[in-house]
Amino acid sequence: MFDSDQYIGIRHITNGDTFDGCDCLGLVRLFYKEHKWGLTFKDKGAPVTAEHIHDKENWDRLFRYLNRKMKRVASSDQLEFGDVVVFNVDGDLHLGIYQQEGMVLAMSVPVVEGKTKSVLYHRRIWEKAFKRGYRRV
C-alpha cells in the first residue's frame, strides 16, 4: 500500500497539482501521477479560475471524463484503494481519494485559498456526504 502521509498538509491552490499546492482535483491528479496510473483528469482542459470553480459546466465536464475513463462504484462500502470519491458538503462538490480502512484523502472543507490543507477524513465524516465513486479500469 502506498504511504499517504506525504500527501497530508498540502496547501490549497486553485488549479495546482503539485506537492507545493493543489485543489481537490489537483490532489487527485498528483496522487494518480505519483502512482503512475495514467489518468490525467483533464478533458478539453481549460484551467478553472477561482471564481468559476463551482460552475456546473466544470463539474459536468469532469463527470463526463470520469464516466468515460473509469468505472462507477455503486456505494461507499465498495470503495477500494485509489478510487476517486465525490462528496457534497453544504451544496459544494469535492473530490478525494479512497485510502483504506474508511479513510479518504481530500482537501479540508471549507476551502480557504492558500490556507486549507489536505487531510485524511474518517468514514464517519465523509460517508454522509458521499455522492459517487470511480475506479480505474
C-alpha cell at 21: 499546492
Residue pointed to by grid coordinates 490549497: 12
Give the closest residue to 75 by CA, choosing from 131, 7, 3, 137: 131
- Output helix, strand, coil percentages for the chain, rounded to the nearest 5: 30, 30, 40
> What's the confidence (pLDDT) of residue 48?
54
Banded pLDDT at 93 (limits 50, 70, 90): confident
pLDDT digits (tens, 9 = 90+) for 98-137: 998 999 999 998 888 889 999 999 999 999 999 999 999 9
All three cell numbers of 113, joined, read 485559498
Q: Mean per-residue pLDDT for 80-105?
A: 92
pLDDT tens profile 36-72: 998 888 765 555 555 555 667 777 888 888 999 999 9
List Cα–Cα distances, 72 to 5, 45, 54, 100, 126, in angstroms.
Answer: 27, 22, 22, 18, 18
Per-residue pLDDT, 49: 55
Q: Output the pLDDT for position 6.
A: 93
Between 61 and 33, where is the model more confident?
33
Please give the DSSP secondary-structure letter assigned to residue 117. B
All three cell numbers of 25, joined, read 482535483
- Domains with residue ranges and CATH for the chain: 4-136 (3.90.1720.10)
Instruction: Copy the grid coordinates of residue 70.
Output: 473509469
Mean pLDDT estimate for the chain: 87
For residue 5, what pLDDT band results from cuts at 50, 70 and 90?
A: confident
In the predicted structure, residue 89 carries a pLDDT above the cut 70: yes
Given pLDDT bands bounded at 50, 70 and 90, which one contains residue 31? very high
